[in-house]
Amino acid sequence: MATPAASALLLPSLLPPPSLRFPPRHVAAPGVRRLAQPLRAGRPRLQPPAPPPVEEVAEEQDATPPLRLLEPPQEDDPFPPEMEPADPDFYRIGYARMMRAYGIEFLEGPDGMGVYASRDVEPLRIARVIMEIPLELMLTITQKKPWMFFPDIIPLGHPIFDIIESTDPEMDWDLRLACILLYAFDIEDNFWQLYGDFLPGPDECTSLLLAPKEDLMELEDEDLASEMLKHQQRAIDFWQKHWDKAVPLKLKRLARDHERFLWALSIVQSRSVNMKMRMGAFIQDANILAPYADMLNHSPNANCFLHWRFKDRMLEVMIKAGHAIKKGDEMTIDYMSGVNSKFMERYGFSSPTNPWELINFSSPAKIHMDSFLSVFNIAGLHDELYHNSALPSVETNFVDGAVVAAARALPTWSDGDVPAVPSVERKSAQVLQEECRQMLDSFSTTIEQDQQILDSDVHISKTREIAIKYRLHRKMLLQKIIDSLDIYQDRILF
């Protein structure tokens, strides 16, 4: 099935050919290159491993009959009238399809493993495929009743089936997918047994589900810490209810201790995507673990997106139309638009330049919205602000996601064509700057101290590291808002 496309990477559905098997993440693999960062100890590494929210809808269909899974049509088993036959090619293809990748490689970078361009791509008028992952390599579960999962690897009567069945499909998608993942690891020769080597281990995983309480305290965000303690308790309760008792060995060995279950849940939460998939006649909201695509990191300015190809049940990773890609560029997707605490809850990372980050100001001071936006060449409505980098800007590279976040977070006013009065604006800007300084002072450490901790040679756990980064990123944003307001005061006069 391979096309002769240059640098096509072909990975088989069940067992990769020996030349493409991934060494474990902690072993430097021939053919797996690294970026500047050294390989993290303890993590197997792959030539390739999903994230997040993806949208793509297929044609509109609404029926959702009660099926546990779709099975190949039988000659003597006519379709119920509300179902339409699936593409017959799908059944001919059967179980032997491969993952394909074009013009990319999987490398260790500053954000863990990532997907990088291995050649230049001219901007095209239409999106271009860089990965194709067939349904049978993925683990999927529908969000709504009647629930279904693909592929159907769990035999009826297996106790894990009853555990999944006891959960709420709409609320517990992550617990359900974690059960399926643990089960897949246990099936001999299942693809996920191999792929599991390339997933981050418990000490490399950034998920706060794995963070001890002391690490959660380092966040200096009580709401997020208590939210994470609740998430941890939910997972532990679930494990205790179903595992921590006399259970059959075939169930026990899937998660002998609650740490194993928490790890599986971390993997599911940080690597799964939500998608609308059209399967035959049904459109389903599904949660998916898609190998290889789950190696894509997040960017709010992503150059790629995910697309469900209904015809042959493939998940495609595509470069967005109009994007020029240079060899070595990181290929990214947009996991979601949210504040850093939401990224931390699900994925265990934050960004100092997250354009969706919010700071709640309490002072009544406001600055003139249009004046602020025009100083930084930002345009658009509140939820769709974008920076026009083609126009000459205040300072090279000063405007980034943090300035966009400042434009969204700062209290502003606007009244038709009424212009800003510079002296009043300057005063308001100073009041807001003072509030930012007070917020900075309320942290127990400074930006410099956090940076020192992160740069020091003393070993700290992954979850402590990301907790410190989270509070540092908040401080960096506050500092950037102060700096933006300095520039605003300089410019508003003209």
Ligand X SMILES: C[S@@+](CC[C@H](N)C(=O)[O-])C[C@H]1O[C@@H](n2cnc3c(N)ncnc32)[C@H](O)[C@@H]1O
Q: Rule CB under 6 A: which of 39-68 touch ligand X? A: 49-51
3-state secondary structure of 237: helix
d(CA 111, CA 7): 24
Which of 243, 269, 271, 265 is CA-nearest to residue 255? 243
CB of 301 vs ligand X, minimal distance in Å: 11
| 330, burial (CB in 10 Å: exposed 0-12, middle 13-18, buried 19+) | buried
Would you say 300 or 411 has its CB closer to ligand X?
300
d(CA 466, CA 215): 9
* Residue selected from 44, 103, 200, 280 as contacting ligand X according to rule CB under 6 A: 200
Cα dihedral sign, 386-391-393-397: positive
The total of other beta-carbon atoms located within 10 Å of residue 77's CB is 9
Would you say 16 or 114 has its CB closer to ligand X?
114
Should residue 196 be labelled a site residue for ligand X when binding is judged by CB under 6 A? no
CB of 466 vs ligand X, minimal distance in Å: 8
Should residue 338 be labelled a site residue for ligand X when binding is judged by CB under 6 A? no
Q: Rule CB under 6 A: which of 201-240 touch ligand X? A: 206
Should residue 341 be labelled a site residue for ligand X when binding is judged by CB under 6 A? no
Please give the structure tokens belonging to residue 406. Answer: 């400042």
Q: Which stretch binds ligand X (CB under 6 A): 220-228, 344-352, 399-407, 411-419?
A: 344-352
Q: Rule CB under 6 A: which of 92-111 touch ligand X? A: 111
Q: Which amino acid is at 272?
A: S
* Residue selected from 291, 348, 352, 355 as contacting ligand X according to rule CB under 6 A: 348
Count of residues that bind ligand X according to CB under 6 A: 20
Q: How far is CA 249 from CA 160, 381, 474, in A?
A: 12, 57, 47
Would you say 25 or 176 has its CB closer to ligand X?
25
Binding mask 109-128 vs ligand X (x if CB under 6 A, - otherwise)?
A: --xxxx--------------
Please give the structure tokens belonging to residue 247. Answer: 């259970």
Should residue 465 be labelled a site residue for ligand X when binding is judged by CB under 6 A? no
Cα angle value 135/310/68 (rounded, 5°): 55
Should residue 295 be labelled a site residue for ligand X when binding is judged by CB under 6 A? yes
d(CA 21, CA 30): 11
Residue nearest to ligand X (CB): 112
Which residues lie near ligand X (CB under 6 A)?
Answer: 49-51, 111-114, 200, 206, 270-271, 294-295, 297-299, 347-349, 351
